[in-house]
Structure 1
Amino acid sequence: MRAFHCAWWAFFVAFFIWFAISPLLPNIQEDLNLSNDDIWSSSIAGVGGTIFVRLLLGPLCDVYGARVLSAIVLCLAAIPTACTGLVQTGSGLIALRLAIGVAGGTFVMSQYWTSRMFTKEVVGTANALVGGWGNLGAGVTNILIGSVLFPLFEGITGSSETAWRTVCIVPAIVAFITGIVVWRISDDCPRGNYSDLKLRGLFPSKTTVTKSFHTAALNSNTWILFVQYACCFGVELTMNNAAALYFRDEFGLSSEAARSINAIFGWLNLFARGLGGFASDACMYKFGMKGRIWIQTILLLLEGCTIFVFMNTTTL
């Protein structure tokens, strides 16, 4: 169970630093006199930064395991997070969020990790809980950074600009420490760490990064899941990045109120993903793999319907 808890906590911290800057965007925009295009471009960069990293991390997990890679990604992403206060221009904000986006790659390790640790009868629930509790970091950071730490730092420093320039040091420190702890206390798989298995000759010697990527890329199921995941997680990333600004501009809320409402979306991960994984396992038990496919199809259709409802909502 150490791997399970390390997986979800590492993912939680990754989301915590990935979106730590999101509740601060209204203040950053005002202090640096940035346009809405600058803010949107930075949000796109934050997502773009994780896309290429995830493509690389998947094959690397097959060779080196999730533990070491989780530690490396968290420690690396902590550096630009701590440098948030150095931003002076829109271009600087875009570059910063591109670098912080590396943290989103932790999702690959968390799902790979639990898939290695649990059997097919419960792996859906395990993956869902790790993914859900990890994604919860986006909701927590909206509350903790936007509504607790930022006002605290503002009160201490007497300046909102100084507050947002210094507050991200806190999540950066948490991420760096988490990376070290995950590396030291956990295991790659039930049989131990990949490095030890290789020394004992118990690891498939023919596994390489190139071969792993090539095999996955030629499987049609990979691309079907790619499209489905782009649809569902794309919505989540958009909400995490832009909802606070949207609620402020569309409904005239204060930045604090907009952050709090936006946090509700992230907090749904506390139970929503777990329920999805449980439903998937239940359908798998009764109908086989087709059961997993059907429940995923139904949930994607329901998501599409709720998006149409949201886009036509005129009041809170």
Structure 2
Amino acid sequence: MENPDRINLFSFQGKMKVLHLSWIAFFITFVVWFNHAPLTLAISESLGLTREQLKTLLILNVALTIPARVVIGMLTDKYGPRLVYSWLLALCSIPCFMYAFAETFTQAAVARFMLGAIGAGFVVGIRMVSEWFPARQLGTAEGIYGGWGNFGSAAAAMALPTLAIVIGSIFGTDDGWRYAIGITGLISLIYSVIYYKNVTDTPKGSTYFRPKNLGAMEVTSKGDFVLLLVMKIPMYAALALLAWKLSPAGVSMLEQSVVLSIYVGLCALYLFECWKAWQVNCEIFEKPVAEIHQYKFKQVAVLNILYFATFGSELAVISMLPLFFADTFGLNPVMAGLVASAYAFMNLMSRPGGGIISDKFGRKPTLLVLTAGLALGYLLMGYVDSSWPLAFAVIAAMACSFFVQAGEGAVFAVVPLIKRRLTGQIAGMTGAYGNVGAVFYLTVLSLVSYQTFFFVIAGTAVLGFVTLLFLEEPEGQVAEVLPDGTVTMIDVT
């Protein structure tokens, strides 16, 4: 019999089975999402890409994830994580195969852009894990899910270059990278079936709370409504930044008229979202929401900014670190990929560690310490150059990554405690801010030196620390309403 008060990592029953199957699903999404990073130099040579086109692919890879995480979060709250995760894994294998067979920059760019959707898988598992674990274990469980799943990027960095070389030698081709990437798509397709057949959305007898409306996030005060609309702006700004990067002012992939149309479309879509938010929340302007059902959206806003600095920087750094080590220390592609994987390797322990520390010492104090360490870590990375011994540079990257990934674990130790029925949407918005950060940082990287890039991340981490002072420690209980109208109280302490 499984002990409900214990997390036994060697168990594959009940909630632990769901946790293991979910982190493996997340792991696969990250292998697929970042299967290009350790192979960038080989892909560049094969397709004849310029360095500017290569950097554009890195930005495209994280762009679609911004709206995808918001949409997938809503779908997860509505239809349940089992169905949504399975479909996401299956459908995203298609652009993975497209990328493997790309012959031109445009084909690769389209496939890479579409593949950004698989980065939304993280959001689905956050809701799944929150349904199976109590508040006292939630930080640890979400940390294990996020950390072990996130390790997929490091696994890709360590395994795919060697796999590409081995396959290339067997078939006598220089395009071994195509087979390596195609294999990751096949794994994603197969696992979609395995996941669907082996999990359920909740433990037997538990209720899956769904939002009243799917069109927009619910808020519970007039001030929160305004803040919701303000917090949506950076997501659209990031997509506009991407369009600018693809314009004649950037890599000239899109004509100026097309870019202007994208700008107009983004403005129209933002106004449409504002209207949908009004439709969902107009009642709060007529009568106050009962105190028992209120939650503070500022909690979400603070977590968004923190995830911008943590996960946003991780996405950007994982994407560029092989190039950084290759350019700075003159390493070959395989060695650069292996050395760069040290940054993501820390996910195995640091992200679960952030969740464990949050469970033990409190959410806010943990975040304050980790955010301060994050700022100092990137400040140190900004001083790494060719005069450093390679081993010291790797140690600096690993030390920095500890605070980054532990901070991510601590952020998502708070997310599921804000409002249960909105967990997917909150996780989606917070997760999207991670991709907003990635687009911002990678755009900065395309304009400045590696050193300045790291200093910019350190500066945004300081901003996150200041914002964090406004976070309130989750405590007590939150109310959810059963389908029959009965109010259920859920512990968040």
> What is the TM-score with the length of structure 2 in the denominator?
0.58
Distance in 2 of aligned mates of 1:74 and 1:99: 13
In the alignment, structure 1 residue 138 sits paired with structure 2 residue 142:
no
2:198 aligned to 168, 177, 185, which one? Answer: 185
Separation in 1, partners of 2:30, 2:178: 19
**In the TM superposition, what whole-angstrom CA distance separates every residue of 1:24-49 from its partner, at most 9, and x where no partner exists?**
11011122221121111111111112
Query: Among residues 116, 120, 132, which one is paired with 1:101 in the alignment?
Result: 116
2: distance between equivalents of 1:203 and 1:272?
Answer: 30
Please state how far the C-alpha of 1:247 moved relative to its aligned partner.
0.9
Aligned to 1:243: 321
Give the alignment of 1:209-224 within 5 angstroms. Answer: 209-210=214-215, 213-215=217-219, 218=228, 219-224=297-302
2:306 corresponds, among 221, 228, 238, to: 228
Q: CA deviation at 1:205?
A: 7.2
Whole-angstrom CA distance in 2 between matches of 1:101 and 1:300: 27
Q: Please give the alpha-carbon distance, in whole angstroms, between the structure 2 residues aligned to 1:240 and 1:146.
A: 15
What is the Cα deviation at residue 159 of structure 1? 2.0
Q: C-alpha separation between the residues in 2 aligned to 1:233 and 1:242?
A: 14
Q: Distance in 2 between matches of 1:267 and 1:234?
A: 17
SS, match of residue 207 in structure 1: coil
2:379 matched residue in structure 1: 308
Q: Which protein is richer in helix relative to its size? A: 1
Matches of 2:170 and 2:325, distance apart in 1: 28
Match of 2:131 in 1: 116
TM-superposed deviation, 1:204: 5.4
Matched, 1:152 2:176: no
| Distance in 2 between residues matched to 1:93 and 1:205, nearest whole Å | 38
For residue 214 of structure 1, give the secondary structure of its aligned residue in structure 2.
Answer: coil
Relative to structure 1, the CA distance from residue 136 to residue 313 in structure 2 (aligned partners, 3 Å threshold; closer, same or farther) is same
CA distance in 1, matches of 2:211, 2:336: 52
Instruction: In structure 2, give the amino acid aligned to 1:246.
Output: F
User: What's the offset of the Cα at 1:60?
Assistant: 1.5
**Residues 201-222 of structure 1: CA distance to partner in whole angstroms, max 9, x if unpaired?**
x6657633125x2339742221
| Contact in 1 for aligned 2:78/2:210 (Cα 8 Å) | no
Residue 157 of structure 1 aligns with an amino acid whose one-letter code is: F
Selected match of 1:59 from 68, 74, 92: 74
2 CA distance for matches of 1:90 and 1:242?
18
What is the CA–CA distance in structure 2 between the aligned matches of 1:173 and 1:274, rounded to whole Å?
A: 29
Distance 1:205 1:250 in 2: 50
Question: In the alignment, residue 277 of structure 1 is paired with which amino acid?
Answer: G
Note the C-alpha offset of 1:310: 0.8
Is the 8 Å Cα contact of residues 202 and 208 (structure 2) preserved in structure 1?
Answer: no
Match of 1:297 among 368, 376, 390: 368
- Structure 2 CA distance for partners of 1:254 and 1:110, relative to 1, 3 Å: same
User: What is the aligned counterpart of 1:264 among 311, 333, 342?
Assistant: 342
Q: In structure 2, what is the equivalent of residue 163 of structure 1? A: 176
User: Do the aligned partners of 1:63 and 1:207 also contact (CA within 8 Å) in 2?
Assistant: no
- Which residue is equivalent to 2:281? none
Q: Which runs of 5+ in 1 are unaligned?
A: 284-290
Question: What does the per-residue CA deviation read over 1:85-142, in whole Å, with 9 as the maximum and x for residues that have no partner?
Answer: 3222222222111111111101001111111111110100000000000001000011
Specify the structure having the higher radius of gyration (Cα).
2
TM-score (norm 1): 0.90
Cα deviation for residue 224 of structure 1 reads 1.2
Q: Alignment RMSD, CA only? A: 1.7
CA–CA distance in structure 2, aligned partners of residues 189 and 165 of structure 1: 39
User: Residues 207 and 164 (structure 1 numbering): CA distance in 2 closer, same or farther, change over 3 Å?
Assistant: same
For residue 178 of structure 2, give the secondary structure of its aligned residue in structure 1: helix
Equivalent AA in structure 1 for residue 169 of structure 2: G
> Which is bigger in relative contact order (C-alpha 8 A, separation at least 6)?
1
Counterpart position of 1:288? none
Q: Is the 8 A contact 1:62 1:207 kept in 2?
A: no
Distance in structure 1 (CA, Å) of the matches to 2:384 and 2:320: 16
Contact 1:3 1:188 in 2 (8 A): no
Answer yes or no: is 1:85 the counterpart of 2:90: no
Q: Does 1:282 align with 2:295?
A: no
Letter in 1 for 2:356: F
Q: Partner amino acid for 1:84? A: Y
Deviation for aligned residue 1:15: 0.3
Deviation at 1:146, TM superposition (A): 1.3
